[in-house]
Chain A
C-alpha cells in the first residue's frame, strides 16, 4: 500500500528540510556577505544581516596584496594532479579487487579504509622528514603525492563498488573476443563505469581542493594553494574579517561552482549501491 502523505506532513518535512539546509548554508552565506562589508561593519555588534553599504574594496585589497591566480593555479594543479594520479592507481586496484578477489580482499579494503581513521598529525613528523630528505617541501609534486595517498582509499572504495555492479561475464566476453587486459579495461570496463569514475574524480578533486592540513604544513610560497591563501589572512597582523571573508569567498567559489554544476553526478556517486 502506498504511504498516506497528508498535506500537513508535507509542510512539516519541507519546512524541516529548508531549516536544515539554511543552517548548513549559513556560514557560507555569512562569509560571502561579510566579504562585501567594511572591516568596521564586519565586527559590528549587533551583526548586520542586510543593511550596509556594499563594497568591493576587500576584493581589491586582497588582489593587490596577494597573487590570487598563483594560489588558484597551485590548487588546480595539486587537486587535479592528485586526482589523476589516484585514478591511475585506483582503477587497476579496484579492477583486481572487484573481478579477481582473493580471500583477503575484504580485509584489504577495510585496512585501507582504516588508514583514514588515523589522525593526520600522527604522521606529520615522518612525512615531513621524508619531504625534507627528498627536497619535496613546498613543491606541487610532493603535495600531489601526499593528497593522492590520503584520498586513495576512498577512490579505490568508490570505484570498487561501481565495478562490482558490472557483470563479470561482459569482461569475460571481451577476453574471449581477443581483448588484452589493457584493452579490456580501456574499451569495456572504463566506458561502462564512466558515471562512477566521473563522480569519483569529482569527489576526490573536491576533497583535495579543500584539504588544509597537509597543504598548510608542507608548503610555504611556491606550491601554496588556496587554503594557504585563506590562512594568510588570519594572521597575527590582527583581525581582518572582511578581507579574510573576501579571500575565503574567492577560494571556495571555483569549487562551489563546480559542485553546483555537477551535483547530479555527485549525489549519484555518493548514494551508489544504496538505491537500486
Chain B
C-alpha cells in the first residue's frame, strides 16, 4: 500500500478517534457497555471453545524450543512495523535500536528463529499505531470489546487498523509468505494463551464479573504502557479509609 493511502487512512482514523474524546477520568469511558458485554460473552465462549483448546493442543505437540522459535520469528517480522511507528512517534533512538535488532535477528538469528539481539542488550521493544496516536495527542476514546479481538479502545482499534497496512515488509512478501506470517502470529498468540492459562482462566472464567475485570486490567495496563497517568494516581490520599473493625 502506498504512503499516500496510509496517510489519508490515518487522518480519517485520527478524526474518528478525535470525535469521541471526552472524559476518560476518573474511571472508565464505557458508553457502549451493554453492547460490549454482549461481545464479551461471545469472546469468552470463543476463548473457551477454541482458543484455550488450541493452546493446549499447541503446547502438547510443539516443544518449548519450537514455540520460542515461532514467537521469535513472529516478533522479528513485526519489527519493521514497530520501527515505522517509533519514527512517527519521534523516538528515533529506539527506532534505530529496533532496526539493528531486526538486522541482527534476521541474519545471525537464522531468519529470526533465535533472539540473539536480546543477548546483545537489544531487548524486545514493541509499539503500535495506537501508541503513535497517543503520542500525537489523540485521546483514548471509548472502551470497546471487539469480536475475536477482545478489549480495546477507539484509539487502539483505529491503531490496529492502520497497523495492518503499516509494515513495510508486507508488500515485499509473496502471498504464501504473508499467510505464513499470519499463521506464525496466530500460533504465537495461541501459545501465549496456553502459557498464561491459569491467570487468564482465573480472570475470564472464574471471576464474578469478568467483563469488569478485563476492562479494568486492559485500560490500566494500556495507560501504564503508554505512560499515561492512571486516574487513581490523582486520588490525593488512598489511605483515607475507615478500617475500624476489619
Genuine A/B complex: no
Binding site for B on A (CB under 8 A): none
Binding site for A on B (CB under 8 A): none
